Amino acid sequence: MSIQLVIIVGIIVAYVAASVAEGMVLNGAATLPPDVRERVFRREAALGAIWRIVGGLGLALVVIGLLKTFGFIRGGPKIPWGLYTFAGGFALICLERTLRSWGTFGSYAKEDPQGPARAAALNAALLVTLVELALGVGVVWYIKDKAVGPGGGSSASTASGETEPDEAETEGSTGGGPAPKPEKIAIWIPAPQAKALIGKDDAYFDLLVRWGQVRKKETGGELFYQAQDLKSLKQAGLPAVQEMEEGLKRMQAAPPEPPAEAVKSPEGERLEE
């Protein structure tokens, strides 16, 4: 599951839960006398400014984290702070919604201690708490364990969460396209982050590797891709799927090249032309 899909699912789940909870609260509020209901609404409006500040801060962190993760912000400390910033912002939004629901419950409990409005607000608060807790913990865990990887915050990471496995373990790839330029230090990123970087799926990455555009490596059951290869491709323009497929077909249909003929140099050494 990609990071983009996790974000979309999280937003949908949060929206549905908030809508259901709001409906429960409004149904309970309908049982109150108009003057009592008006007092509750005024108290909610007074607290709303605080919730908007907290939610706005969380949203700002989410946006900054996404901009960093997808390469629109460069530089920074040697930790994958884009993904961590997104996770922190998402957790803050979940916390704001949870606190808001319990604030609503407190307002109705004060005005209707034993009535149906209090019970409806309590059920809504419990629903929002369970959903937001599961959602926040799930997204943060997914980003830490799957997207960033177990060594994400170590000194071997770069500003965008890139990891640096041993150069001797590098798995090069050959194909019809030009071979990636060698680097003094190989920087690798986990597969989910690589897909998020260029917005492509597994099938496209398989073609890139077979075509010789991107190097890959598997370490500890985790798949990594060469970061500089992906950045160079993104800057130069990603090749089309049809172009790579046709190139691979031509490569497979081409006859093998004959071995080079060995000749002797004037000094008697064997050289290959």
Band (272; pLDDT cuts 50, 70, 90) = very low
Q: Name 119's Cβ contacts closer than 8 Å, sequence gap at least 6.
A: 28
pLDDT over 70 at 259, yes or no: no
Band (258; pLDDT cuts 50, 70, 90) = low
Query: In the predicted model, what is the mean pLDDT of residues 217-238?
Result: 82
pTM score: 0.50
Between CA 51 and CA 160 the distance in angstroms is 31
**123-127, 189-193, 221-225, 262-266, range with greatest mean pLDDT:** 123-127
Query: In the predicted model, what is the mean pLDDT of residues 125-151?
Result: 75
271: left (phi over 0), alpha (psi -120 to 50) or beta: beta
Query: In the predicted model, what is the mean pLDDT of residues 256-270?
Result: 50
